Structure 1
Amino acid sequence: MDEILNCMQCGFCLPACPTYRQTGKESASPRGRIALMKGAATERLQIDEEFEHNMYLCLGCRACETACPAGVPYGSLVETARDVVETRKKQKGDTSLLRDLIFHEVFPHPERLELMGSLLWMAQAAGLQALAQKTGLIKIMPRQAAEMATAVQTIASPWQRMKREPVMEPEREAAGLKIGLFTGCVMDMMFYETNQATARALTKAGCQVVFAKEQACCGALHAHAGEQSGAVELAKRNIEAFERAGVDFVVNNAGGCGAALKEYHHWFHDDPVWKERAMRFVGRVRDANELLAELPPLSFSKELNVRVTYQDSCHLAHGQGVRNQPRQLLKSIPGVEFVEMRGADTCCGSAGIYNITNFDMSMQILDDKMVDVENTKATLIVTSNPGCLLQMKKGIQRAGMTGQMEAVHIMDLIERAL
């Protein structure tokens, strides 16, 4: 309630909010949602379907936090509101089998995610994905999933994954740092090579990189979906895994994961022992852009000669305050002509699984974003988050720019120049 009352209802958040800009509705703004939370907390409003709809219409991009003069922690407020919604539904026995499967049987189990990745690779290798798109069979899938499936890139094979070394040694004079690479769940399943490219960049910067055993999903998807207890259990597993690894820094390359990792200490309000361990863990967490910008400059061997623009990951820019470092790295690559995009830090509409759960709103936000992307006349749009990368690939398709523009993760672009 103290955090809710910190909101002065000034309205600075309104122009920063993507859903308010799309709808013009007060209930679709951060200020409006906080007013609804206050009503529910004081029992003047029911926690009903309308309340649930307004909480889940939010992308969780946290642009409102950047705009807020009072420093209201909106991200944690909306996560708490969703947790209350889901707790009430469980008490009523109103749970979804698919939701339970995703959050309890899939994401907490890295081996099951790896199996899913292998199955997806098999489908791609057998040509089933291309065949489904060509024949129209893909339309038997739910519309949202079918649309986003067209943006999925080639998955690494099980044999490529088996080649991963548990430790990668520095390739030049050692910086004296032992880095634990946080591989993530979706990131490692769908963007395995980007994780490897990140590790190679760090070794070229003089770091030893280790892949800590028993690390798990960061818990962000659980926290954003009102599954706070599941998020806390995943946080404990990751804290223990990297404590055992004895690393100097825990480095990740996904803005959404990084924001969650850096906020673990907020997840242990009533557990002082775990909160202290979480604070030590948080002190070691760095985004890959953040750490590489601090280390001696990389020695690039290739000139790329491309015009590049950058789409901020919301959770990297607004959640972690990491803005200049990715741009600094891009400008250091030989042959890169960097052009700043208007509204680069406005949400692309991906927001975790928002482009599945709120597809139409997501695509409206994406189409607006693509107008600014096209105006840059860039041939590459660079991102720092897997969800943003898939969304921008979809945006290129929707804008009819396939073959003219490519979406690429910043670590993959650095790999090309190295």
Structure 2
Amino acid sequence: MTTVKERETIQQQFKERMSEDELLNCMRCGFCLPTCPTYIESGFQESHSPRGRLAVMKAVVDGVIEPDEDVERSLNMCLGCRACEPVCPSGVNYGHLLEEARDIINQNKTHSLPVRTIRKAVFEGLFPHQNRMRTLTGLIGFYQRYGLQSAVQSSGVMKLLPNNLSSMEKVLPEIPTMKEMKSRPTHLPAKTTVKKRVAFFSGCLMDTMFMKTNDSTMKLLQLAGCEIVIPTEQACCGALHGHSGEKNKAKELAKRNIEAFEDLQVDYIITNAGGCGAFLIDYDHLLKDEPEWVFRAKKFSKKLKDMSSILVDLQFHKRKLSLPAQVITYQDSCHLKNVMKTSAEPRLLLQSIENSEYREMKNADQCCGSAGIYNIVESEMSMQILDSKMKNTKATEATTIVTANPGCLLQMKLGIEREGLTGKVRAVHIADLLIEAAQSPVPEIES
């Protein structure tokens, strides 16, 4: 709960920092409404729509309403999927406005001690430090490999947790060993004639919990003719910070990444996580008020490319790809589609796999409800959205659900678990499926 003084400060900063021109761009036409999962799942509440949230922001700027708990609640209920942006005839940059509003509120309110402790541990103590990410992930791996997971599950302790959290524990990926996480390559040669020299953004969670998917991605790039550079100085992309009202910390991470990649002399910077890619490509906006950085950020952002895009560019979909007979469907990563404008390429790659049948899911481009940590902090709405997503998924009769983002992958695995489809349906990252489908011998990662 905010004090009167805090609300006054927040309101003043809304007036100073929120772009009134951008807010006025919203014509209230309502084109965004059918694309917004929270608007639909809330029973068409205007306060849970992009149009409604923009109106709330404008009202705070104008002093019509106070930035109270209802305002904060409306903004926090947003998934940040940015599905409203491609359909907006005025081109409102809703995602930028949302992040600015959240940052203003977060930086000018007093959190409770437990919340302050958790935020400090996560945003300052964990994600900016890859060695700590490896340590934490290693502990999860120890829990999986040495009988603790099965013991905890059989004890019934997990039943004390909310259903979605206990289910999440079951669907965690198989964690690599500490030795594997520490032995990461910094340069990989192409496995054929060199067509492109690229840098790979390995990420924080992607290079620990989802390390095998990173390995699959790099193997695919090698097979497609890419020489790969993986800078050791790179850091977390900062998306979690930026989406959670920790803008200054996101800027620090952005600067570290720009410095790590800018002198590598590469054609592209490749990502394999839609959420990371979307935040990285927006670095020029994040640093727009820092003249000494904004030009460097623009150069960085222009080189960003999703792995599926470069694979299509290099004609990977025309090589021999085959899988045992199965029905495949694809769940879009919101940020990959809505921010990085990449949706046709993953589908083209999947449709090129022989023996399999690709079936398009209804509303495949609507958010699955993961949205970073949304499925933890707003679990009720997240599960409601996931239930709708699984209804559309089951209608395809797919046995393989493909995603392009780690959060989406875990969410779809959670959906499979909740629907009792474990063992009948699997969820897999597109990089891992394409490596399965590649007919050439799969190269090992070599330092």
CA RMSD of aligned residues (A): 1.7
Question: Against the structure 1 CA distance between its residues 344 and 92, is the aligned structure 2 distance closer, same or farther, given a 3 Å change threshold?
Answer: closer
Correspondence for 2:335 = 315
Distance 1:100 1:313, change over 3 A: same
Deviations, residues 351-400 of structure 1 (Å, cap 9, x unaligned): 11100010011000000110110010111000000000000000011111
Q: Is the 8 A contact 2:134 2:181 kept in 1?
A: no
Contact 2:167 2:417 in 1 (8 A): no
- Superposed displacement of residue 100, structure 1: 1.6
In the other structure, the counterpart of 1:73 is 93
Residue among 345, 350, 354 paired with 1:330: 350
Amino acid in structure 1 at the alignment position of 2:308 = N
* Contact 1:151 1:394 survives alignment (8 Å): yes
Give the superposition deviation at 1:147.
Answer: 3.3
Cα offset, 1:247, TM superposition: 2.5
Q: What amino acid is aligned across from residue 342 of structure 2 in structure 1?
A: V
Aligned residue in 2 for 1:236: 255
Structure 1 window deviating more from structure 2 (214-223 vs 295-304): it is 295-304
Alignment partner of 2:200 out of 181, 198, 202: 181
1:106 equivalent in structure 2: 126
SS at match of 2:316: coil
The 3 A distance-change label for structure 1 pair 354 and 93 is closer
Instruction: Confirm whether residue 62 of structure 1 aligns to residue 77 of structure 2.
Output: no
Where do 1:29-68 residues align within 5 Å?
29-68=49-88
- Provide the rounded CA distance (Å) in 1 between the counterparts of 2:56 and 2:167: 33
The structure-2 alpha-carbon separation of the partners of 1:317 and 1:112, relative to structure 1 and needing over 3 Å to count, comes to: same
TM-superposed CA distance for 1:87, in Å, is 1.5
1:270 match: 289
Q: Render the CA deviation track for 1:122-164: whole Å, top value 9, x for unaligned.
A: 1111121222222212245566533322221211112323443
- Measured after TM superposition, the shift of residue 93 of structure 1 is 9.3
Whether 1:343 aligns to 2:351 is no
What pairs with 1:172-321 in structure 2 (closer than 5 Å)? 172-175=192-195, 177-297=196-316, 299-300=319-320, 302-321=322-341
8 Å contact 1:59–1:351 — kept in the other structure?
Answer: yes
Supply the distance in 2 between the matched residues of 1:13 and 1:385 (Cα, whole angstroms).
24
Q: Deviations over 1:311-348 (max 9, x none)?
A: 00000111111010000111122222111111010110
Work out the CA distance in 2 between the residues paired with 1:109 and 1:162.
Answer: 13
Match runs of 1:363-378 below 5 Å: 363-378=383-398
Q: Which residue in 2 is equivalent to 1:155?
A: 175
Is the 2:85–2:338 Cα contact (8 Å) retained in structure 1?
A: yes
Once the two structures are TM-superposed, the CA of residue 173 in structure 1 deviates from its matched residue by 1.3
Percent identical across equivalent pairs? 46
Q: In 2 relative to 1, CA 337–51 (structure 1 residues): closer, same or farther, beyond 3 Å? A: same
Q: Give the conservation status (yes or no) of the 8 Å contact 2:85–2:91.
A: yes
Counterpart Cα distance in 1 of 2:280 and 2:387: 30
Aligned-residue offset at 1:68: 1.2
SS state at 2:262 partner: helix
Alpha-carbon deviation of 1:233? 0.6
User: What CA distance in whole angstroms lies between the structure 1 residues aligned with 2:359 and 2:331?
Assistant: 11
CA contact (8 A) 1:3 1:72 kept: yes
Q: Distance in 2 between matches of 1:100 and 1:297?
A: 43
Structure 1-normalised TM-score?
A: 0.96
1:6 alignment partner in structure 2:
25
Q: Is the 8 A contact 2:189 2:222 kept in 1?
A: yes
Report the more deviating stretch, 183-192 or 31-40. 183-192
TM-score, length of structure 2 as denominator length: 0.90
Letter in 1 for 2:281: K
From 401, 404, 427, the equivalent of 1:407 is 427
* Whole-angstrom distance in 1 between the partners of 2:167 and 2:25: 40
Looking at structure 2, the residues matched to 321 and 191 of structure 1 have their Cα atoms a distance apart, in angstroms, of: 24
Aligned partners of 1:94, 1:218: CA distance in 2, in Å? 26
The correspondence for 1:137, drawn from 157, 161, 165, is 157
Matched position secondary structure for 1:179:
strand
Q: How far 1:275 moved relative to its partner?
A: 0.3
User: How far apart are the structure 1 equivalents of 2:403 and 2:324?
Assistant: 17
Question: How far apart are the structure 1 equivalents of 2:32 and 2:94?
Answer: 10
- Give me the whole-angstrom Cα distance separating, in 2, the residues matched to 1:191 and 1:164: 13
Secondary structure of the corresponding residue to residue 187 of structure 1: coil
Contact 1:89–1:95 (CA under 8 A) maintained in structure 2: no
Deviations 1:105-129 (A, max 9, x none): 1111111111111111111111212
Alignment length (residue pairs): 417
Q: What is the distance in 2 between the residues matched to 1:80 and 1:94? A: 24
Q: Structure 2: which amino acid aligns with 1:113?
A: M
SS of match in other structure, 2:257:
helix
Distance 1:313 1:249 in 2: 21
Q: Find the residue that maps to 1:250 and give its secondary structure.
A: strand
Instruction: Give 1:239 deviation, angstroms.
Output: 0.5
Kept after mapping to 1: 8 A contact 2:325/2:355 = yes
Equivalence for 1:380: 400
Gaps of 5+ in 1: none
What letter corresponds to residue 223 of structure 1 in structure 2? G
Query: 3-state DSSP class of the match of 2:258?
Result: helix
Distance 1:97 1:142 in 2: 22
Distance 1:7 1:148 in 2: 38
- Measured at CA, do residues 403 and 167 of structure 1 come closer, stay the same or move farther in structure 2, by a change above 3 Å? same
Letter aligned with residue 36 of structure 2 = C
